[in-house]
Amino acid sequence: MPVESPCFSQRRCLLNHSRGTSKGSLSGTTHPGDHPAGGPADLRHRLRAVTTTAPALDAQGVTIRLGDRTVLDRVDLHVLPGQVTALLGPNGAGKTTLIRCCTGLLTPSSGRIVICGTTPTRACAEGRVGLMPQATGAWSQITAAELLAHLASLHTEPLDLEPLVELLDLTAHLRTPYRRLSGGQQQAVNLLGAIVGRPELVVLDEPTAGMDPRARRTTWELVGALAQAGTAVLLTTHDMAEAQSLGDRVAIIHHGRVRVDSTVAELTDSGRSLEEVFLEATEGRS
């Protein structure tokens, strides 16, 4: 059976909040050489410098078994620094389970995952991985500002989030309890929480779900800026246009197996749409 391990960023955030020990604020530390705070184009100058070409995410033969059911079956997946990989698949295909493995929440039944040169658990503990989850019900009792401040306080050199808060139209909602934010606003807060530690790998679980068109476009720009800075990005989405616009590579998972793993250009160079590739990869297979 898989072994559950703690999700460090969320658990430590909640622990600090309950004890009242966090001293974070939305403004991160200013560092020598930092460019003035601005929009997505400026973001790449303020992130952690990536000096390696080794995969930020290296999954080999990852299998998850729950009782007699195989949820992931010998999954191989690699994400390089500066690369955006879009992970596609129908509901229940295994995407979220794979994310839980990559962020130290599940230990594979077999196979191995190396994150930023170490184990997922250690990489998360060191702040080298940023996770944008879909569901964060445990955060419902605190405001958006409190949540972001606590997440910033977990890092020694947090990113200054104030310009990004403005860019995502969250300024007027900072004092709103997280649970009362709209779905799109919650997603925007989750995105900021994922990047505040200047991670080397960012994992985004359906990042634009529930967002209005403006916030969606801004999020796309932020993801592009992350990649330009050398950050590795793994994102899940059901939006083929989003996958094609943001993804350097696309991996399609179905019934726990990776059916397709290739560049967007290779998948569409014959004139097929990404949607056609997806349907072909996921229809009539078991």
pLDDT in tens, 178-228: 999 998 999 999 999 999 999 999 999 999 988 899 989 999 999 999 999
Q: Which residues lie closer than 8 Å to 202 by C-beta, 6 or more apart?
A: 129, 130, 131, 132, 194, 195, 226, 231, 232, 233, 234
pTM: predicted TM-score of the whole model, two decimal places: 0.84
**CATH of region 8-18+40-282:** 3.40.50.300
Instruction: Tell me what pLDDT residue 1 has.
Output: 42
Instruction: Tell me what pLDDT residue 256 has.
Output: 94
> Which residue ranges of the chain lie beneath pLDDT 50?
1-24, 28-36
pLDDT digits (tens, 9 = 90+) for 34-53: 444 556 656 655 666 566 78
Instruction: Tell me what pLDDT residue 50 has.
Output: 64
Boundaries of every domain in the chain? 8-18+40-282
Instruction: Tell me what pLDDT residue 53 has.
Output: 80
Instruction: Tell me what pLDDT residue 283 has.
Output: 86
